[in-house]
Each structure stands twice: as structure tokens, then as C-alpha cells.
Chains A and B, each alone.
Chain A
């Protein structure tokens, strides 16, 4: 073991914390194969929005050398027979919620890190391996999905262990980094590319390689101050985590706020669609603005309209429409689009509407926005800059100085998903078939 200097004067393994990182293998591809048996043990890729690029691969597709984010038209040219599916968000979200319910019940506290990953706090678990094997078989049996478990005394080490569990099938899907001897641990870290350490991206990896840090072991053994001066505090923290010093706590996922409502009664009742639309869009804009101020993203939006129920001399109507955004968002335009769609579904002519509004729910902190695989990240960035500008102008010159005009922007609900599988778990019309043959 190459331990030297003041660097390791700190305790090597802090025994008072322990994490398990559980994630679903090839999540989207695996979800598809739960209901479509013909996909099992076959090369399968799942494509991003508008069937643009590969965002998930079955083990067999990985074996063909197909890479993540490869453009679909290129992959298709190489493998004309390859089975592909458009992304079925409805199915993945439902399956994810089921998996997360099982896993979060396995530990006193947990952090849903992404749609298919969860950190569990297992510090008080007497038999870690038993717990790991239990959750693994439970998710397999109850939901039909394969998961891997990595155990480590820091989140970074748990991530590393998870990677080993996934890449080396001889461990049966569970790997406990803390069960290794120091020599074994060093040997393992020597075999792991520094770019595969949690928090080290490809750009940082290139920089580190120039500095002579190629493996997880190199990073762990590098002098802490040297890392900070050559890179950042963030990387310094990563290196400390590799050494077994827990620096990144569990971020408990309870959202600050459960829902956000913007609604008004109209000064004078309205009967025209245009007028109603204008109000609804302005409420939605306000709600989106609030989301951004509070650093939240919304996954579900509800639009409601109703007539004056105290005027029983008049025809009454009240309706609501709730829809799920493809990904959690704080984007005014995306929400406005969805709102217009919802309003069109519920609007009826011939009533005098007294009130309208929107309710945003399933809120999550914006910092957790990450599985943006469905969406082009540059577009998200452009949009968030646009929204920031919008907020600034409206702050300076007063509300609604700049506002949404309505139609003509992209429609997230009508994007191309040519090979989308049925919504097996969320639509009665789409159930998988049980053959009585």
C-alpha cells in the first residue's frame, strides 16, 4: 500500500456511516423486457426523444459495441436488424416508482439519486450482504427488474462498488468494498479508470491524465492540497471520499413544497376561449416564475376552470385536466404549451367562467435535474437562460412585460416516438396480453 505523508493521518474508514447504492441494470431496456418476453436476451436499444440517439442498451446490445448517445441513424446503418424502442416515459416512471418504494423501505433513510438509482443509509444494518441480497431478489421477484448493489463507507465508494458489481458478474450483483483488505482495495482501484470515479467527467479525466492521474488509485493517493491547487475543492472531496472519509451526506428527498397553486377569480366572468386561455397562460407563467425563484421543478400540472357555483340560475360546469410533463421542468414555454393542451381538452362553449387556475405538483429541487437523457442538454441550458432573462425583464419592468403569446412553440406531447411500446402499466387500453392458448 502506498500510504505516505500527512494525507493519511485521518481515519481511513469511518465506521459510523455506510451506504448502499442500488440501481437497475439497463433500466429502460429491462423495463421493456418485463412485458415483452420476445425482447429477452436480445440486443435491444431504447432511443431518446424523437428517436434521436441511443439512451439505453440491453446487455446484448452493449456486447455489439453500441455506445450510449450514439445517433440512431448511424447505429441502424451498422445493425439493420437491431430491435429498437422509442422511450416509454410512462412505463419507466411507473416502474421506477415501484422499485423506489421497495428500496426506500429497506433502510431508515435514502436518497433517490436518479430514476433508477437510490442511495440507502445502512449504517445500522447488522448484515449488509444479507440486506443487499434481499433487496436484489425482492425487486427481481416483485417487479421483474435486475438490480446491482454496491456497498461503501462513502457515497463515492458505494458508487465504485456498484460499478464492480455490475461489470463483474462473478460477484452476483452485490459488491461490498469494505469487505476488502487494504491490499485488495488498492489493487481494485488500480484497475479502475479515473474517469469512472463518481464526479469525474470526461473533461476532468483528460486533465487529470495530463497530470499523471490515470486510475482511481492515483486519485486516492494524490496529495490533498496538490489536488486542490491543480483542480478544485470538489475533486479534493472526491479523493477524500475514495479514502473513506464521508464528505457527501445523503440528500433526503423530501421536497420542500408539495404543490404550487396559482388561480384567480375573474373580475368579470368570461365565456370566450381566447380570454380564458390568456388568463390560464398568465397563471402558468407566474407559477413557473415561482418555481424558478424557489429552485424547484414540477412534474405534474393541473389546469382547472369553473363557473360560478352560486349562480344556480345558470348552467354550471367545472373541469380539470392533469398531465405529466415528460421530465420535471421549470420552463415557462413547456408548461404553457402543456397548459394550452389541457385547457383545450376541458373547455366547453356556452358557459360563463368565473375562475381558472393551475396547480403544479410532484415538485423536486432543481439541483436534482439530471436524467435529462430524454432532452437535449444544450436546449435545457438555452431555455433556462431564456427563462432567467424573462424573469429579469419582468422584475425590472413589471409583471407580464414579456409573456407567452401562446401556440407555435414545440409540443412536447406530440413528439415522435415511432416505436414506443404500450403503456403497459398506465393505460387500460395498453395492457400486455396473457394468452389462454
Chain B
């Protein structure tokens, strides 16, 4: 049995160096696999492009279900990316962080929901001056 300590600061993994397992020097014939050593796959690499600017947020609500973003999902948010039309973004509206699709309504920038079934409950929010794009959503993580 081996209990791994919980890393208290993920920043350590965030700043880690690429890990290459150097095989121990052996007296006998060198392993033919030595040149093929690779890093084990890590989901972090799949989801995160710029670790310094990446933050995770927890979803609350169902206004984005058609974009496959569900209640309690963990969003991977990259603050270094710029949104274009159709990008899923985090925006600050009043005192909240909202997850919405960045779009245009009548030629004006707006935040729209993606839930056809409840479209009436989630009208588009026009982008006014106190709204701000907090970051761009790169992915959503969900455990079954």
C-alpha cells in the first residue's frame, strides 16, 4: 500500500519540468528501450495550454447544457486567450462569474446561453461597460 500525500499546491505541478526517466546504469547489455522512454500521458497536458494563466472554476446551473457544460462540471479557464464569436467565456456580470457563449446580438457584443429547452429563462445579456471577460473556457471536466 502506498499513500500519496495530497499536493497542497498544484503550482508545483504547474511549474514542473518535463520528466524523463533516466534508467539506472546497468552493468549488462543496455536496455533496447532506452531510446524510447517517454513521459506517461497526463490529462493536464491535454487540457491546459498555458498553466500560468489557467484557473479552474465549478459550474452551477443549467444554462449551458447544449454546449455540453453541466452543473458541477469543472471548467478549465485560460485567461491568456482572446474570445471570438462562439467562444465559451467566463464573464463578470454584477457580482458574479458567469459562463456564457460570447456572441453578437444586433451587432452588439453579448453573452448568450445555450439551453434551447429553457431559452426563455436565459435571455442574452448585452455586454455593458461593467462587464468584463474573465477568461476563455478551454474545456469541461466531469466525473461520473
Contact = CB atoms under 8 A, between A and B. Distances in A.
B117 interface: no
A319 interface: yes
Nearest to A101: B52
Contacts of A324: 8-9
Interface string A326-340: 000000000000000
A323 B8 CA distance: 7
Interface string B117-131: 000001000000000
Contacts of A94: 9-11
Given A142-B79, A142-B80, A436 B97 contact: no
A9 interface: no
Interface in A2-41: 35, 37-38, 40
Interface string A415-437: 00000000011101001111111
Nearest to A320: B5
Interface residues of B, number: 44
Interface string A136-174: 000001111000000000000000000000000000000
Interface in B3-24: 3-5, 7-11, 14-15
Interface in A89-103: 90, 93-94, 97-98, 101-102
Contact of B79 (A40, A101, A141, A424): A141
A302 interface: yes
Contacts of B74: 428, 431
Nearest to A102: B52
Contacts of A319: 2-3, 5
Contacts of A144: 79, 134
Nearest to B56: A431
A432 B135 CA distance: 13
Contacts of A102: 52
Lowest 7 CB-CB distances: which A-B pairs, in order? A436-B61, A38-B95, A142-B53, A434-B57, A431-B58, A319-B3, A436-B63
A437 B63 contact: yes
Contacts of A101: 15, 52
A323 B10 CA distance: 12
Interface size class of A (residues with CB under 8 A): 35 or more
11 contacts: A93-B11, A97-B9, A302-B5, A317-B1, A320-B5, A425-B11, A425-B55, A435-B96, A436-B59, A437-B60, A437-B98
B7 A322 contact: yes
Nearest to B94: A37
Nearest to B135: A144
Contacts of A37: 92, 94-97
Interface string B63-86: 111000101001101011000000
Contacts of B75: 434
B92 to A, nearest CB: 5
Given A432-B55, A436-B60, A436-B69, 18 more contacts: A38-B95, A90-B9, A97-B9, A97-B15, A98-B11, A98-B53, A101-B52, A142-B53, A316-B1, A320-B4, A322-B5, A324-B8, A346-B3, A346-B5, A425-B56, A433-B97, A435-B60, A437-B61
A72 interface: no
A56 B75 CA distance: 30
Contacts of A434: 57-60, 75, 77, 90, 97-99
Most chain B beta-carbon neighbours within 10 Å: one of A319, A324, A436: A436
A102 B51 CA distance: 11
Contacts of A142: 50, 52-53, 79-80
A341 interface: no
Contact of B98 (A35, A141, A435): A435
B10 A426 contact: yes
Nearest to B9: A426
Nearest to A429: B58
A394 interface: no
